[in-house]
Amino acid sequence: MPGVNMIVCCKQVPDPEAPPVVFKVDPATNKMTLPPEVKPVIGQYDEFAMEAALRIKDKAGGKITILSLGNKLARDVVKKTLAVGGDELILLEDETFEEGDSWSTAHALAMAIKKTGEYDLIFCGRQSSDWDAGQVGLGIAEILGIPAVPLARRVEAVDGKVRVERVIPDGYEIVEVGFPALITVTSELGSLRYAALKGIMAAAKKQPIVWKPSDIGLEPSQVGAAGRRTKLAKLFQPVKEAKGEIIEGETPAEAGTNLAIRLREAKII
């Protein structure tokens, strides 16, 4: 076997673990504003997807092409995928790609995947770490007409097939599917490995390929905000009232005892 030809879709997002207080919606523009100290990162589940592809490459060999769609993508962020062992980075980068929905994003990614030519496996995260939609992976599979296995926690390629342990509500199932197929990855697969110094140096020298809508056969009216099927009517933050009551004690143990007493007082237990 000449190795497995893989594509991983990675989205650049604002750090989803930034403290909740820094997330502020600007009602005038209907947009999320974040202070500069919140750095862009690769979506968490996309990192897990990258790790899934790397594990296959470790064992079976092959090539990993990373696709990332957006505008003004931070090179040091997206290049992390090369530093950990990706082979090629393609950026769908243009201002017309901005503010797409799952529909326009999946459409553009699918067209880009077609343009790359041959592929055996496509990996996506189970959901993006900003809009939390969980649609793009399955959407790409539908557009390309290939089978999809969502929520993989373990992936192994054997003889032109892929064996996936996929999470189901009370356990997991083992699913087998032939190439080509799309797999979405969940967190139990395991964290993305650290980049080795060699990888970081190699990545620094590599330049990503940049494609505009016309490069993938799309009009600007078909991508990003213009190509959306869902319209954002409003973005807002429901007001939360602080309600906390801290229970004290001389020692942590005493605070624990006092907590029980307080709960009884409040008739909660």
Ligand X SMILES: Nc1ncnc2c1ncn2[C@@H]1O[C@H](COP(=O)(O)O)[C@@H](O)[C@H]1O
Instruction: Give the x/- contact pattern for ligand FAD in 31-60, rule: CB under 6 A.
Output: -------------x----------------
265 binds ligand FAD (CB under 6 A): no
- If the CB atoms of residues 5 and 129 are measured against ligand FAD, the closer one turns out to be 129
Amino acid letter for position 241: E
Which of another protein, ligand FAD, ligand X, none sits in contact with 33, Cβ below 5 to 8 A by type? none
* Smallest gap from residue 185 Cβ to ligand FAD (A): 12
Q: How far apart are CA 43 and CA 66, in angstroms?
A: 13
Residue number with CB closer to ligand X (5 or 97): 97
Instruction: Return the axis-axis angle of helices 102-116 and 136-144, rounded to nearest 10°.
Output: 50
Residues 6+ apart with CB under 8 A from 243: none
Whose Cβ is closer to ligand X: residue 54's or residue 136's?
136
Amino acid at 265: E
CB 143 within 8 A of CB 243: no
DSSP assignment, residue 256? H
Task: Estimate to the nearest angstrom the gap between the alpha carbon of 48 and the chain centroid.
Answer: 8
Polymer length of the chain: 269
Q: Which is nearer to another protein, 202 or 255 (CB)?
A: 255
Q: Binds 177, which of ligand FAD, ligand X, another protein, none (CB < 5 to 8 A, cut-off by type)?
A: another protein
Considering the complex, what minimum distance in angstroms separates the CB of residue 82 from another protein? 25
243 binds, among another protein, ligand FAD, ligand X, none (CB under 5 to 8 A by kind): another protein
Q: Which is nearer to ligand X, 147 or 262 (CB)?
A: 147
Residue 65 binds: one of ligand X, another protein, ligand FAD, none (C-beta under 5 to 8 A by kind): none
The rounded distance, in Å, linking the Cα atoms of 8 and 210 is 16
Least Å distance between CB 129 and another protein?
7
Q: Name 66's bridge partners.
A: 8, 89
Which string of b and e fits 260-269 if b means at least 16 CB within 10 Å?
eeeeeeeeee
Report the alpha-carbon distance of residue 67 to residue 92 in Å, rounded: 7
- In the bound state with ligand FAD, the residue whose beta carbon lies nearer, of 124 and 181, is 124
Binding-site member from 37, 118, 132, 250 for ligand FAD (CB under 6 A): 132
Among 135, 167, 171, which Cα is nearest to 153's? 167
CA distance 15 to 5: 30
Question: Binding to ligand FAD by residue 17, rule CB under 6 A?
Answer: yes
Binding flag, residue 129, ligand FAD (CB under 6 A)? yes
Residue number with CB closer to ligand X (65 or 102): 102
The residues binding ligand FAD (CB under 6 A) are: 16-17, 44, 127, 129, 132
